[in-house]
Amino acid sequence: MRILREDSSLETFFSPKSVAIIGASEKLRFGYFVTKSILSRTDLRAYPVHISADKVMGVKAYKSVKDIPEVVDLAIFLVPSEAAPTAMLECAEKGIKHVIVLSAGFAEVDEVGKQRQEEIVRIARENGIRVIGPNCVGVTNVSNRFTTAEIDIDSLKEGGVAFIAQSGIFGTVIIDWAAANDFGLSKIVTLGNKCDVDEVDLLNYLEKDDKTRVICLYLEGIKRGRGREFIETFKRVSRNKPILVLKSGRTQAGARAVRSHTGSLAGDDRIFDAVLKQTGALRVDSVEELLDFAKVLATQPLPKNEGIAIITNSGSLAAMTCDELEKLHMKLASFEPQTTEKMKKIAPYWTSIKNPVDIGPAMLQVGSQILEAVLEDKNVGCLLIISSPPGILVKKNGMGLDLVPFYKFYRRIIDKHREKTIIFSSFGDYDTVQAAKEVFEKSGIPVISSVQIAARAIAALYQYKEYLEKSK
Amino acid sequence: MRILREDSSLETFFSPKSVAIIGASEKLRFGYFVTKSILSRTDLRAYPVHISADKVMGVKAYKSVKDIPEVVDLAIFLVPSEAAPTAMLECAEKGIKHVIVLSAGFAEVDEVGKQRQEEIVRIARENGIRVIGPNCVGVTNVSNRFTTAEIDIDSLKEGGVAFIAQSGIFGTVIIDWAAANDFGLSKIVTLGNKCDVDEVDLLNYLEKDDKTRVICLYLEGIKRGRGREFIETFKRVSRNKPILVLKSGRTQAGARAVRSHTGSLAGDDRIFDAVLKQTGALRVDSVEELLDFAKVLATQPLPKNEGIAIITNSGSLAAMTCDELEKLHMKLASFEPQTTEKMKKIAPYWTSIKNPVDIGPAMLQVGSQILEAVLEDKNVGCLLIISSPPGILVKKNGMGLDLVPFYKFYRRIIDKHREKTIIFSSFGDYDTVQAAKEVFEKSGIPVISSVQIAARAIAALYQYKEYLEKSK
């Protein structure tokens, strides 16, 4: 059932110049916000298609896609599944080459739906049409703000992380989370039933997309017969960009759940895991890991050497980090003698200037100088700064300090050493964490709440580095 | 070096009626906010002690604790370590029985500091004085708002979770986090160098504290010679209240870190782990787990049977949850036939009414009825609701829905079944997550962001239940 891949680029899905919305409606129901957002764009020509209305949201409507005065780049299906085969036929007659089927009611539901899906795939294949969906929320391109998802696109920040999911709801939730957390995304795609376009196609596309630095993938199963291409593509793309994979259906209960969810066959997880390792893709265990790892990989260079340094104001958080790092076979750097000498001159006698460097409440006074000493150490390839200052420092009824200028001092030092891998971790008082995000995340230094996830992100960087070195 | 335990209750530390602050100062430095907060209280008599000043913050000051016109319940030391032995001697002469040494510069620093610490312990022991610290931020009692920590006590919400840490900074960070996240605490203690009062003492105290339902412990090591009492106390207290333990120094790197941090000997982690399991205490792997598990244990009854149900709008998040549950040997409930019948009548045909029940976008329309059907099922002992609705539902430039009334419908159903274990999980859009917190957390149903942590919290409930049944 593979479609002829005449159009090897999927770019048109993300940057169409003309769009037909088949089943556009003014009713506040599924598809309303997609219609509204696309019809209001000034950078593309949008044509609502509606069986009876003359206008949709004030824009001239057409009875059929065939009546539209041009061959549009992209057709979006909002029509019920029973109307989809006819709509696809009309697209084919018109010569349209890209279709996103947002509607549900296909193979995920019953035998009738399955037949309808097979019908649209047959028509698409015979006419060289590429199809995303059905049963999805399609694509979102953060740089040109084009989206077929029901989201507030203007709240999204542009960044280097692409996200591919199967389920529309999950994709939407991730987008909403990103908007709420100022997390930079490049492109988001939900694939739904994957009747045509699948992860392999998207990896091929995103590999060349210069807005994307990291590719995140949520998977429930691999399409039957795509195993070999999956592996080859992962291997090749991994050499250019890191791929993070969150896969469910790892256990019997999980496999049953994905079968009811998207009809996917989860497969044997041990085999999947072993195969994935060979491809250089990095597997994560939770949404939280996925997002934090992506943030690190999208912004940080890979460590130049194996030495990891920690600077902290909290010995407890540093101790937990050391535990996690050692569990993952990571190594703490041994400082050069001159680094220790420099720190001795700066740090109060009651601090600990071994690695982890624990300067406690002296963090604000001498933090930037300590930072400088450690970053100048050639044994240090990666630095984790764990800064969780007490809230009383910044509270109005406390000392009322503004942490931002302090953190800007740190950043000035850090900016001289951007060739090193640098991660910030902050937890606790709301305002102190916000100050860290304000100063560091905005200049491309990831701020991670959990020290364990920060440690695991570091291990992921080293794992990826090893893959790249091996596959040279 | 054990002190005579004449006063078996530590209550005075948390609810003193009269307090001397030795080394009180108006200078904006360590101890300033403690002094300010205690001197401003109207429910206790506070006496600043200062070598020269007549007044501190407008309150009459005394040259020595001996000049105070009463024997205060508690003395707080802010003086440098070299002045601590004399201050302790004066407390002993005065007949004071409770001292918190906030100052640092003792055994954690060097040999001289260690000798000073031994000196104050000797004096305390000879005079039946109980000592918390040194090198800590002492106690916080959320119900009467008494605190010796530098925090904004008024921002803290009262709740059933007690927290014991060694390090002052870490304790402060947890308090700050709790304040920012509306997390209810009962009592917080940081023990510092544990020259006298240690975890065993506090567990004995908190066991009987009726404000405390769950005890959280961050540990770096066990005091030498306290192993047996530690085990016995844990075993006994666990039978009444769940104890959660986060321990660092699990690896060689972690052990080195805790040695520099608090001078603790971490010990062999496998032995610690095996011993802890026997005591019924539950071990957690991160701060995030600690806080989320505590929230669940403090609010939810233990499950009556092994059947776990999941209701969700996101099949992806449910699949990940199933994976985590099975990994932990947890079981999904088989619904009674009438439950399935009831759901068939309510849920649209395209939803999945197996367990996990995935009703997708129908969550808002039929969620409360599905909830009712599942909660009435006698095979269900524990219910996890995973609700991550798209942000567009609530956005002003979207559908502008208010989720709160919808969630209140859910809560009305839930309230009829509070004998069951119920956990809510929500992730994604900021406002939708806030609506869940607003409705559920305020009425004692925990809202957890990570589905994996939610699954692990459920496993912890079953583990604790098993301990209680075995130890009957």
Q: Give residue-wise pLDDT tens across range A151-168.
A: 999 999 999 999 999 988
Suggest the residue from A28, A29, A269, A323 to mutate for an interface test with chain B (most B CBs closer than 10 A).
A323
Residue written as token pair 């969780």 = A388
Q: What is the pLDDT of residue B4?
A: 44
Q: Does B430 touch chain A (CB under 8 A)?
A: yes
CB contact under 8 A, B180 and A429: yes
CA-based nearest residue in chain B for residue A262: B315
Q: Does B397 touch chain A (CB under 8 A)?
A: yes
The mean pLDDT value of chain B amounts to 94
CB contact under 8 A, B391 and A165: no
C-alpha of A136 from chain center: 17
| Average pLDDT score over residue span A265-279 | 87
Evaluate whether B11-132 and B301-470 have a shared fold: yes
CA distance A100 to A198: 13
Which chain A residues contact residue B349 at CB under 8 A? Answer: 109
CB contact under 8 A, B429 and A252: no
Q: What is the pLDDT of residue A178?
A: 96
C-alpha of B455 from chain center: 19
Pick A319's closest partner by Cβ from B254, B288, B356: B254
Sheet with A282-284, edge to edge strand ranges: A146-147, A139-141, A184-190, A157-165, A214-219, A243-247, A282-284
CA distance A182 to chain B (A): 11
Q: What is the pLDDT of residue B266?
A: 76
CA distance A27 to chain B (A): 12
Which chain B residues contact residue A322 at CB under 8 A? Answer: 248, 251, 253-254, 256-257
Structure-token pair, residue B223: 């005091």
Q: What is the pLDDT of residue A1?
A: 41
Q: Does B199 touch chain A (CB under 8 A)?
A: no
A137 pLDDT band, cuts 50/70/90, is very high
CB contact under 8 A, A258 and B218: no
| Average pLDDT score over residue span A245-272 | 86
| Average pLDDT score over residue span B261-282 | 87
- Stretch 113-132 of chain B: residues touching chain A, C-beta under 8 Å: none
**Within 13 A of A206's CA, how many CA atoms are on the CB side?**
32
Per-residue pLDDT at A218 exceeds 80? yes
C-alpha of A361 from chain center: 36
Structure-token pair, residue A237: 């793309």
CA distance A128 to chain B (A): 30
CA-based nearest residue in chain A for residue B154: A397
Structure-token pair, residue B25: 């100062």
CB contact under 8 A, A315 and B261: yes
Q: What is the pLDDT of residue A2?
A: 45
Please report, for chain B, the start and end positions of each structural domain, with discontinuous segments joined by +. Answer: 11-132, 139-298, 301-470
Which of A188-202, B26-40, B250-264 comes out lowest in average pLDDT?
B250-264
CA distance B240 to chain A (A): 28
Q: What is the pLDDT of residue B8?
A: 54
| CATH topology assigned to domain B139-298 | Rossmann fold (3.40.50)
Q: Does B337 touch chain A (CB under 8 A)?
A: no
| CB-CB contact of B141 with B239 (8 Å) | no
Q: Does B320 touch chain A (CB under 8 A)?
A: yes
Which chain B residues contact residue A170 at CB under 8 A? Answer: 314-317
| Average pLDDT score over residue span B332-357 | 95
CB contact under 8 A, A169 and B388: yes
Q: Does B106 touch chain A (CB under 8 A)?
A: no
Pick A173's closest partner by Cβ from B180, B314, B399: B314
Per-residue pLDDT at B3 exceeds 70? no
CA distance A7 to chain B (A): 31
| Average pLDDT score over residue span A220-241 | 90
Suggest the residue from A37, A176, A285 to mutate for an interface test with chain B (most B CBs closer than 10 A).
A176
CA-based nearest residue in chain B for residue A181: B430
| Average pLDDT score over residue span B400-408 | 95
CB contact under 8 A, B286 and A429: no
CA distance B133 to B190: 8
| Average pLDDT score over residue span B31-57 | 95
| CB-CB contact of B57 with B48 (8 Å) | yes
| Average pLDDT score over residue span B87-109 | 96
| CB-CB contact of B169 with B177 (8 Å) | no
CB contact under 8 A, B314 and A104: no
B5 pLDDT band, cuts 50/70/90, is very low
| Single-letter residue type at A1 | M
Q: What is the pLDDT of residue B472?
A: 83
Pick B261's closest partner by Cβ from A108, A260, A352: A352
Q: What is the pLDDT of residue B9?
A: 77
Structure-token pair, residue B52: 């020269």
CB contact under 8 A, A315 and B169: yes
CB atoms within 10 A of CB A164: 22
Class of domain B301-470: alpha beta
CA distance B263 to A299: 37
Distances (CA, A) of A251 to A220, A268, B56, B233, B355: 12, 9, 65, 38, 15
* pLDDT tens digits along A32-78: 999 999 999 999 999 999 999 999 999 999 999 999 999 999 999 99
Query: DSSP 3-state assignment of B403?
Result: helix
Q: What is the pLDDT of residue A425?
A: 98
Per-residue pLDDT at B262 exceeds 90? no
Q: What is the pLDDT of residue B30?
A: 85
CB contact under 8 A, A286 and B452: yes
A13 pLDDT band, cuts 50/70/90, is very high
Q: How far apart are the first and last CA of chain A?
A: 35
Q: Does A362 touch chain B (CB under 8 A)?
A: no
Q: What is the pLDDT of residue B227?
A: 83
Q: What is the pLDDT of residue B43?
A: 94
B1 pLDDT band, cuts 50/70/90, is very low
CA distance A460 to chain B (A): 19
* pLDDT tens digits along A76-108: 999 999 999 999 999 999 999 999 999 999 998
Contact residues for B192 (Cβ-Cβ < 8 A; gap 6+): B101, B104, B108, B132, B133, B134, B135, B136, B166, B167, B168, B262
Which chain B residues contact residue A256 at CB under 8 A? Answer: 322, 354
Suggest the residue from B155, B310, B316, B355 to mutate for an interface test with chain A (most A CBs closer than 10 A).
B316
CB contact under 8 A, A322 and B248: yes
CA distance B38 to B72: 14
| Average pLDDT score over residue span B128-135 | 96
| CATH topology assigned to domain B11-132 | Rossmann fold (3.40.50)
CA-based nearest residue in chain B for residue A261: B315
CB contact under 8 A, A254 and B350: no
CB contact under 8 A, A327 and B356: no
| CB-CB contact of B72 with B111 (8 Å) | no
Structure-token pair, residue A441: 């995340």
B6 pLDDT band, cuts 50/70/90, is very low
